[in-house]
Amino acid sequence: MAEASLMRRRRVGTLLARLLMLVALGFAVMARPAAAQSILRDAETEALLRDMSRPLIEAAGLRPDNVQVVLLNNSEINAFVAGGQIVYLHSGLITNADNANEVQGVIAHELGHVTGGHIIRLQEGATQATGIMILSLILAGAAMAAGAGEAGMAGLMAGQQAAMGRFLAFSRIQENSADQAGATYLTRAGISGRGSLAFFRRLQNLEFRLNIPQDNGYARTHPLNAERIARLENIYENDPAWNRPTDPALEARFQRVKAKLAGYVDPTQQVFSRYPESDRSVPARYARAYAWHRTAHPDRALGEVQSLLTDNPHDPYFLELLGQIQLESGHPQEALTALREAVSRAPDQPLIGALLGHALIATEDPGNFEEAKRVLRIAVQRDNSNPFAWYQLGIVYDREGDQPRAALATAERYSLTGQPQLALPNAEQAMMGLQVGTPDWLRAQDIAMASRAAVEQSRRRNR
């Protein structure tokens, strides 16, 4: 009898430990929505998002230089923040939005999460919910150990429901707060709230199509869309900016970016259905150019780009695409003319500079390496978070026989891509060949120290 009781308590303890681990992992997953998602980088898109968000960032009392709007390759209509002053937008949000104003409404809402410190407070909500769950686990374990199995399981289920209810209520409060803050920022920036309401109606229609219940707001992380719309309609419709249109130039830029993004990420047939050959608008030709290039039809892609350049021969982003198609079709020498002009027309766009550096290296002409090194160094100085640019710069240093700086560039690349186990040996190799105390040596030392710490932390976790 004693042995059976002991075995029962052990099984209960094992079960509760596993349940507790699952609860903790569940809340941890909720707190890290940005993990394992692919970032999309494009010079024209990033310039547009900066200009669209700047007045909202300033209205939120933040510094535009400190806030990033990052685009993720995800077809869902969604956006979120995940710590710091970074707003993540899904590509599906851009390609499905009707206009720039809708996206501005979403950005304003997400800035409400940033200024409200909601990611930190979300962890507080998870901690409170976990505490409720732990207490119910302990009480359930005691009941089970005493032989009251059914009562213990009932208590466990009630505790789980209470914990999740607490967490969901906490999340809904944050969403309401972000809605109100977003409305304030739109008002301060003089931007209409029409797009914000249109976005919530879009979400509501999507939920209708997916048969998501619209009558139980207590089982959701977000308030019911109907409730959000009702609360915000009165605010927006009485705002002086309600009938203020978006700047036509900004809207035209948005439609271009939306089209090129669709051409790059959407299924090909969907692109050609939305932007048929009969549509000779700039966005339609732009979308088809990217779609043709992505599907390995360089002649068709070049035809679309050349028609765009006929209308606007010095557009840096059309020139960038022309050079990209030529380069990736195996004609790097031909790409140089377009990319050099693109860099001269948009000198503040390091992503275009990195592409020019890549083309210069791809010619395999040693006479181009010095120019490649110069444009790539400028590119990483203006944007040192581009692994591709560091990779190309490492190639140039290697071709020149400058192994210490080639190792440093490689360490930078691996550090940026989250591979400290590869960044560490390259940083150490760079330090051995660089003069002690120089800026490059100090940078290699910084990477080595950070990578060593990350490697040690990983080892401790895996023990």
Domain-located, residue 255: no
Task: Tell how strand 68-72 and strand 39-40 pair up.
Answer: antiparallel
pLDDT tops 90 at residue 139 = no
Which residues span the domain enclosing 179?
2-237
Task: Tell how strand 86-90 and strand 79-81 pair up.
Answer: antiparallel
pLDDT tops 80 at residue 129 = no
Q: In this structure, are residues 379 and 371 in contact, taking their beta carbons and an 8 Å threshold?
A: no
Burial of 225 (0-12, 13-18, 19+ CB in 10 A): buried
Cα dihedral 119, 121, 122, 127, rounded to 10, equals: 140
Domain-located, residue 79: yes
Q: In this structure, are residues 258 and 274 in contact, taking their beta carbons and an 8 Å threshold?
A: no
pLDDT tops 60 at residue 270 = yes
Residues 6+ apart with CB under 8 A from 333: 363, 365
> Which of 217, 237, 257 is where one domain is finished?
237
Task: Say how many domains are in the chain.
Answer: 2
Domain-located, residue 361: no
Q: Helices 2-30 and 118-145 meet at what angle, rounded to 10?
A: 170
**pLDDT tens column, 226-265:** 778 888 898 999 999 999 999 999 999 999 999 999 999 9
> Which of 185, 210, 237 is where one domain is finished?
237
pLDDT tops 70 at residue 332 = yes
State the average pLDDT for the chain: 84
Nearest CA to 405 out of 376, 368, 385, 363 is that of 376
Instruction: State the pTM of this model.
Output: 0.80
Residue 125 exposure: Cα atoms within 13 Å on the Cβ side: 22
**What pLDDT, on a 0 to 100 scale, did the predictor assign at position 136?**
52
Q: Given its phi and psi angles, is residue 213 left (phi above 0), alpha (psi -120 to 50 degrees) or beta?
A: beta
**What pLDDT, on a 0 to 100 scale, did the predictor assign at position 149?**
55
Chain length of the chain: 463
> Residue with structure tokens 């960038």?
320
Residue 168 pLDDT level (bands cut at 50, 70, 90): very low
- CATH number where 64 lies: 3.30.2010.10
Residue 36 pLDDT level (bands cut at 50, 70, 90): low
Q: How far apart are CA 179 and CA 186, in angstroms?
A: 11
Domain-located, residue 164: yes
> Which of 200, 219, 237 is where one domain is finished?
237
Domain-located, residue 439: yes
**What pLDDT, on a 0 to 100 scale, did the predictor assign at position 32?**
45
List, as one string, the DSSP characters of 120-182.
HHHHHHHHHHHHHHHHHHHHHHHHHHTT-HHHHHHHHHHHHHHHHHHHHHHHHHHHHHHHHHH
Residues 6+ apart with CB under 8 A from 148: none
Domain-located, residue 380: no
Q: Please tell me what DSSP assigns to residue 98.
A: S
Domain-located, residue 276: no
The mean per-residue pLDDT over the stretch 258-273 comes to 97
> Residue with structure tokens 């560091």?
390
Sheet arrangement for strand 68-72: 39-40, 68-72, 86-90, 79-81
Domain-located, residue 34: yes
In angstroms, what CA-CA distances link 94 with 32, 103, 449? Answer: 22, 7, 39
Nearest CA to 81 out of 164, 174, 173, 170 is that of 174
**What pLDDT, on a 0 to 100 scale, did the predictor assign at position 15?**
46
**What pLDDT, on a 0 to 100 scale, did the predictor assign at position 391?**
97
**Which range is least confidently modeled, 69-78, 155-164, 260-269?**
155-164
Nearest CA to 81 out of 168, 165, 182 is that of 182
